[in-house]
Structure 1
Amino acid sequence: MTLNPASRPIEIGETANHYWHLYKRNTDRSINQAGRSFARREPNFLEDASEPVSSLFAFDFSRLRDHPDPDSVLPSLLVAIPVMGKGLLLLLFLFSLLAAAAAAAAEARANKSSSLEGLFWATGKDESELLAVVESKEEPSAGEDEIDGFAGGFSSLDGMLQWAIGHSDPEKLKEKAMDVQRLSEDELKKRRLEIKELMEKLKTPSDAELMKIAIADLNNSSITLEDRQRALNELLFLVEPIDNANDLDKLGGLVVVIRELDNTETDIRTTSAWILGKASQNNALVQNQILTHGALTKLMKMVNSSFTEEAVKALYAISALIRNNEIGQRLFYSEEGYIMLQDIMSNSSIDIRLRKKAAFLVADLADYQLQYADNSELHYLGDRFFLKAVVDLILTPDLDLQEKALLAVRSLLQLTSTDASDLRDFCSLDWILERMREDLEKLMLEEDLRDFVNEIESLRREVAIIFHSKLEKVAWVPT
């Protein structure tokens, strides 16, 4: 965008680039100093700008150094800018300076040893002054660590504004103010509209607006597969905050994402399941919305996918969707979800991530049933084949999976629907726990595993105590 057609073209990128190099070569220079250098270099940068910028933003930057009466400038300035307010007054100036400041903050310490030649290029000092500046760099300055906050210059945009006001020409401002006052009503309306459009372009879109854009893209059947994946990735990031997740259904996002579970592309289905899992994590409102839209059945089918990542994300979504949700869990059982978990845990060829998630979900379901539900109603977890699938995981070589299996067994043992005799006779739990103790003793010799192994051994002993206590209750018959 060319800002100075009246004299010679200056591109915003070119100007910012110039001051970025200025800061790279002179890291001790402040925003204040850069502004003065800017004024010497481009005295008519804003004054000669094309309409409508000139009448609203004009300054005589050749007088930026020594204004005698800064306070007298403010009334004229406010008259000259009836619409814009103080923020946009320095908008064009800030494009250059803030770009330079951002680059300077990132590289300030790395470029601390600036050359003498660079200092001479960027300032009007003579050689002796420059030598003094170079020598002074050996001593840390009081404000050296403040470069990220406009070191040695302005601590805020208000400070920059006040500096600009104090170094401007009041007569020039009054002249421009009179120009604005002479504008017709239609011309003023046109200016306001142009300013509003500029503000809209500069405004950072909200999360809700970004979600609307992504959802609109997903509703567009003609977009490319790459753009569809990009839109899903954006939603995956945006739904993490609970407020955004709550807005997803209002914006029509849940329907769109659930529809993508039927997409022919594996990556699209996988990301869609991931979004549903994130959005419903510990969020009863979103859980119920997703359940109402019928997503659970689709997710359960996806768990059987031959694509491991798709199956993993689908099971993750199921776990998040039904956690602490009675409606979701009843629907899960009615769809024979416990059989799905049993098949995953008993199949040693299945990816271990799926088996871990399955064991974790079993513990979660048992804990919920213990805390909230009537144990006599939900007997599925007490099935002997289901119990054996969980118990057998204890002997897997993966310590993390062993821990998750023990946690699941501990919770299952506390359900009234779990028969301790089945765990002893059909699942061989007592033998498996003893075998595990022997294996853990050997692992104790490995120093890097010792702490984790101690935790697992403590959990194993706890499970053994609960198990034998339950067996004693079964064996004791009152007379």
Structure 2
Amino acid sequence: MQSLLRWGIENSNDGGTTQGPQEPHRKLDPEVIDMILGKPDSELMKEALAIAVDEKCEEEERLQALDNFEMLVEHIDNANDLVKMKMWEPLQGLLTSSSSSDEIKRQTLWIIGTALQNNPAAQISYLALSPVEDLVAFLSPSVRSAKTRSKAVYALSGLLKHCAPAVQQFGDADGWNKLKAALEGVHPVSYLALPRSSIVIILDSDIAVRRKSAFLLNSLLIPTTEPVPRPVPNPPAPSGSPSGDTSVTLHPSAPHPTQEPEASGPVHPNSHSSMLSDPSSVSTSGLAARALEEQGLLQALINALVSPVPYGPDGESDEDAEFEEKIFK
């Protein structure tokens, strides 16, 4: 602040009078501007990601950088800048790297889920990396941390909701079977290294993953709302007819065959332009309903209600009101 005050005094003109030769105006130090106004979000994102991907930095420092990054991408404009600044690739690299700790992967999943929420533009950009198979892999109980698996469901929810192409990739990656296992809390695992191929059943004792999986399935089954037609005023009454009719027609008559249909308005580039240019791309209910029947998801939901897998540290609980409510929805 003292530097700013000194600069203002030195570059001010007292009442328009000139007292001797004046020194040329000096430019304000950019560091001073940053101190006053703060750095742009884009710079903060670059700095945070640089720390996060640097394996020479301490783990706590990297986690703090990822936490700061997640708060920045809560803003939809910053989330859309991820593709412009080529940040999706290093984030996906953190997620798939064998050297990334479980905590690093969990924070990265959190960032991905936040950036994708209600953001079709970000969904399309991230989907170009074909990430669904990597995300689905985190649903397995072989990922020891239940918190990490919950964040994986969070990231999948952000990617799949209102994004039919992502749901298609989800099906191709055997995602429905993985989701079914997450709903039931029963994971069949094949051990081919044994003398005979064996199937071992692993029980998942974490109820939070089951709750979020049920919520995800419910969101995919919700039909896309059709646009409501605007009321169209009736045409002017012919001469001699009573005036003052203020009624409106909700479904106007079809145009004359020779009449050209009105061109739809231009689709301006923004976060939701893909939804406007291709409305069918947001409909996931058909794919989810088909999987509900063909992939055994309906039976999995029934099993989860009738014969719930015990949960808790000692498996002392079996029923969960919140989980049951999400299933009934």
TM-score (norm 1): 0.45
- Choose 1 or 2 for highest CA Rg: 1
Q: SS of the counterpart of 2:57?
A: coil
Q: 1:386 to 1:209 in 2, by over 3 A?
A: same
Match of 2:304 among 386, 393, 402: 393
Deviation string for 1:417-453 (max 9, x for gaps)?
xxxxxxxxxxxxxxxxxxxxxxxxxxxxxxxxxxxxx
Q: Which residue of 1 aligns with 2:132?
A: 296
Letter in 1 for 2:214: A
Match of 1:79 among 1, 13, 22: 13
Q: 1:376 to 1:202 in 2, by over 3 A?
A: closer
State, as a whole percentage, how many aligned pairs show the same letter: 25
Q: Which residue of 1 aligns with 2:220?
A: 365
- Whether 2:153 is the aligned partner of 1:315: answer yes
**TM-superposed deviation, 1:300:** 0.9
Q: 1:384 to 1:245 in 2, by over 3 A?
A: closer
Deviation string for 1:293-333 (max 9, x for gaps)?
12221111122211111111011101110111110000001
Higher helix share: 1
Q: SS of the counterpart of 1:293?
A: coil
Residues 357-436 of structure 1: matches in 2 within 5 Å? 357-368=212-223, 372=283, 375=286, 379-383=290-294, 385-395=296-306, 397-407=319-329
What is the rounded CA distance, in whole Å, between the counterparts of 2:51 and 2:147 in structure 1? 24
Contact 2:163-2:284 at 8 Å conserved across structures: no
Q: 1:330 to 1:224 in 2, by over 3 A?
A: same
**TM-superposed deviation, 1:272:** 0.2
Match of 2:123 among 287, 290, 309: 287
Contact 1:345-1:359 at 8 Å conserved across structures: yes
What is the rounded CA distance, in whole Å, between the counterparts of 1:266 and 1:337 in structure 2? 21
What is the rounded CA distance, in whole Å, between the counterparts of 1:221 and 1:366 in structure 2? 41
Contact 1:324-1:368 at 8 Å conserved across structures: no
**TM-superposed deviation, 1:405:** 0.8
- Whether 2:209 is the aligned partner of 1:354: answer yes
What is the rounded CA distance, in whole Å, between the counterparts of 1:374 and 1:201 in structure 2? 50
Which sections of structure 1, spanning at least 5 residues, go unmatched? 4-50, 59-76, 81-169, 408-479
Contact 1:278-1:317 at 8 Å conserved across structures: yes
Deviation string for 1:264-298 (max 9, x for gaps)?
30110000001100110111111111111122211
Residues 71-470 of structure 1: matches in 2 within 5 Å? 78-80=12-14, 178=19, 181-183=20-22, 187-189=23-25, 192-194=26-28, 198-263=32-97, 264-304=100-140, 305-347=143-185, 349-368=204-223, 372=283, 375=286, 379-383=290-294, 385-395=296-306, 397-407=319-329
Q: Extract structure 1 runs of 4+ deviating beyond 6 A.
A: 51-55
What is the rounded CA distance, in whole Å, between the counterparts of 2:177 and 2:75 in structure 1? 33
**TM-superposed deviation, 1:342:** 1.2
What is the rounded CA distance, in whole Å, between the counterparts of 1:282 and 1:376 in structure 2? 19
What is the rounded CA distance, in whole Å, between the counterparts of 1:196 and 1:292 in structure 2? 37
Q: 1:399 to 1:257 in 2, by over 3 A?
A: same
Letter in 2 for 1:387: L
**TM-superposed deviation, 1:196:** 5.6
Q: SS of the counterpart of 1:272?
A: helix
What is the rounded CA distance, in whole Å, between the counterparts of 1:236 and 1:297 in structure 2? 22
Q: 1:205 to 1:197 in 2, by over 3 A?
A: closer
Letter in 2 for 1:354: V
What is the rounded CA distance, in whole Å, between the counterparts of 1:267 and 1:298 in structure 2? 16
Q: SS of the counterpart of 1:193?
A: coil
Q: 1:188 to 1:195 in 2, by over 3 A?
A: farther
Greater RCO (CA < 8 Å, at least 6 residues apart): 2
Q: Which residue of 2 aligns with 1:425?
A: none
Q: Which residue of 1 aligns with 2:9?
A: 57
Letter in 2 for 1:265: S
Letter in 2 for 1:306: R
What is the rounded CA distance, in whole Å, between the counterparts of 2:31 and 2:287 in structure 1? 65
Higher strand share: 2
Contact 1:260-1:269 at 8 Å conserved across structures: yes
Q: What is the aligned length?
A: 241
Contact 2:184-2:300 at 8 Å conserved across structures: yes
Contact 2:49-2:65 at 8 Å conserved across structures: yes
Q: 1:222 to 1:281 in 2, by over 3 A?
A: same
What is the RMSD computed on CA atoms of the aligned residues? 3.3
Greater shift, 376-385 or 296-305, is seen at: 376-385
Contact 2:120-2:163 at 8 Å conserved across structures: yes
**TM-superposed deviation, 1:366:** 2.4
What is the rounded CA distance, in whole Å, between the counterparts of 1:370 and 1:363 in structure 2? 15
**TM-superposed deviation, 1:193:** 2.8
TM-score (norm 2): 0.64
Q: 1:282 to 1:343 in 2, by over 3 A?
A: same
Q: SS of the counterpart of 2:132?
A: helix
What is the rounded CA distance, in whole Å, between the counterparts of 1:52 and 1:316 in structure 2? 46
